[in-house]
Structure 1
Amino acid sequence: MDRAPGRSVRLKLTLSYAGFLMVAGALLLAAVWVFLLRYVPDRAMLINPDDRPDGVFPVRSVLQDVFAPRAAAVLAFLLVFGLVGGWILAGRMLAPLTRITDATRMATHGSLSHRIRLPGRKDEFRELADAFDAMLARLEAHVAEQQRFAANASHELRTPLAISKALIDVARTDPSADTGEVIDRLHAVNTRAIDLTEALLLLSRANQRSFTREHVDLSLMAEEATETLLPLAEKHGVTIETRGDIAPTIGSRALLLQLTTNLVHNAIVHNLPEQGGVWVTTTVRPGTVVLTVENTGEKLTAQRVSTLTEPFQRGTERIHTDHAGVGLGLAIVKTIAQAHDGTLTLTPRSGGGIRITVELPHPHFRTSPARRHPLTGRTTGAVPPER
């Protein structure tokens, strides 16, 4: 924003200090003058009458002649002292603000690695500096994450486009090529590109928190996701067990269903080749509701597990190549959880596989008559209060 030039804060503080000092000095001199007028007599008898013919000394008139020029000199001194001292004090007081301003200018030019690190005990300026340092750290991490994400997304999108171009070139240069096979491969590559694009859009939507919040039962989301993916699990010999309590929370039903579906889908496709298992549990804790998804599979290290929520990171080899995914499943889950003020925790299981826990805020629900879900038949007894 363009602003017209004005007085600096240091000059304003200096003038304020000097003005306050002048007012205080003037009030003090006025008090002294009132005291003299009230308690000092007009005349006094001299001890030595030879000094004046009438033997009377005019005290008040003499004091008036002496007091006025002395008072003016004192006020002039206070003015100079207030301006000089106020300028020095204002400079010392505003020195931290100057460092903060310099850091802000560096940040506006793209230098997010600079930190103020203002020394000294806690006060308003140091609280502002610490908050600014924390903001710079978050911005730096966010920018780095966005840069990695953009690079990875570009790489992932370039791959299906390059494959499509190669297939088209082969079909154009080789008339004897099997057209049906080329079309099938193009269809598969195009489907993967569409899935990746939709996942990127969903990730962006969750990041912006541009969704309507409503009351949602997380246990119903778990059962709906399980029912949807049950054919996939049965096809590949993975058993799914769903159990737990009613888990009410507030958020986007579509996004929370996507979160649950991604977790269950990941648990199925990252599993043992035969006789794998998936366990989906919902529990209620003080102030929060918890969704836990566990599965069997290869053993993972804690270091490897900590990277799985990064975009385009994949864990163990999938049991089937027909569900290769786009590497955004857990990244989307993490973003949705954070958009709902929740947390995502990944823990490797000792026997192999992984345990994923999503913890979301628990609103204040009232108890109501039991109702039955139309798809699952599950009886629920907690509904949101009417508004």
Structure 2
Amino acid sequence: MKKFNLGLVINPIAGIGGSVALKGSDGESTQKQAFALGASKQANQKAQLTLNHLAGFSEQICIYTANGEMGGDLAQALGFETQIIHQSAIPTQAIDTQKTIQALAHHNVDLILFAGGDGTARNVCEVAGEDIPVLGIPAGCKIHSGVYAITPGAAGQLCKKLIQGEMLTLAEADVMDIDETQFRQGIVKAKRYGDLLVPMDLRFVQAVKQGGKETQALVLDDIAADIIERMEDDEDCLYLIGSGSTTQSVMQTLDLPNTLLGVDAIYKQRLVGSDLTETEIWQLIHEYPKTKLIFSLIGGQGHIFGRGNQQISARIIKQLTKANLHLIATKTKLQQLNGQPLIVDTPDEQLNQALAGLIKVTTGFHDSVLYPVGFDHPTHKLKG
């Protein structure tokens, strides 16, 4: 079974000013003052409360983190397999958080856990990609951002759900911060600095918009609208449209002819290839500098590669890279799998294993979920 790759970033001085009434921890002078007043570090203790919920899954998890107090010491002490991907300065600085997040992005982790406050969330937001799911462990003085779990324990519960393969909605959550100088004068002035992609469960994370019962035609229209918006934002990209009725909705919305059981190609919302062979697809992705694949799953079975779309070969998938594979499906279609993972069954065993784990699935307009991918055989399941 492919391990769950968990990114961990701890801001060791997060919340250092809280216990000594400094109403924040931003800035070197504030931190020095906090230590002079007898403050002690608490972020690692908060992170441990989260990781304690994952103790029973230690053999299924590999933690990627920075050295020392930024995560390495804690992960190793708790018995997790640990990969150090950044050597932090002593004392740690904001740049260490940013460099660690950048390194985690290159390691394709399934989720990034970070312990800190709103200042830490800002550091993460400045460098985290839009497609990387993150979750904050509340450890700072100021927690105004919607990217944090309600408690450290709630963060652990949410991670456990992901490791067990439960389907959770991915939603954009605001990163907020307040001016500490004004806050110390009794003025609360919050500012939005961006958003991050967060796995949502309303019991554990700040509430977001909920959807009602799906109406198939309307949901397909929403999915199509999301994909077309991406096309408009990335005009110089060639889009390969895979087979199936879900992807057909994208072509119908664009008013373009569609090969229901084949692969079509569009560029600047114009059809440039129809019912393409593997060789034709291979040639196209070398003619265009940017190519993305929009594909769906086989209903009731859950296969995404290797069944019904052999035109999308292993070498094509490798050439595109995982970042350019965009899976679309209705939540109803995913729920019909009854928790069974999606299946990759190409002749390339190494590729099958590389694609296993969690994948982002677009399920509506600006609406997506994380869902597990397995390989080899439909009976392969991600178990807790």
TM-score (norm 1): 0.25
The higher-RCO structure (CA 8 Å, 6+ apart) is: 2
Question: Larger Cα Rg: Structure 1 or Structure 2?
Answer: 1
Q: Would you tell me which structure has more strand in proportion to its own residues?
A: 2
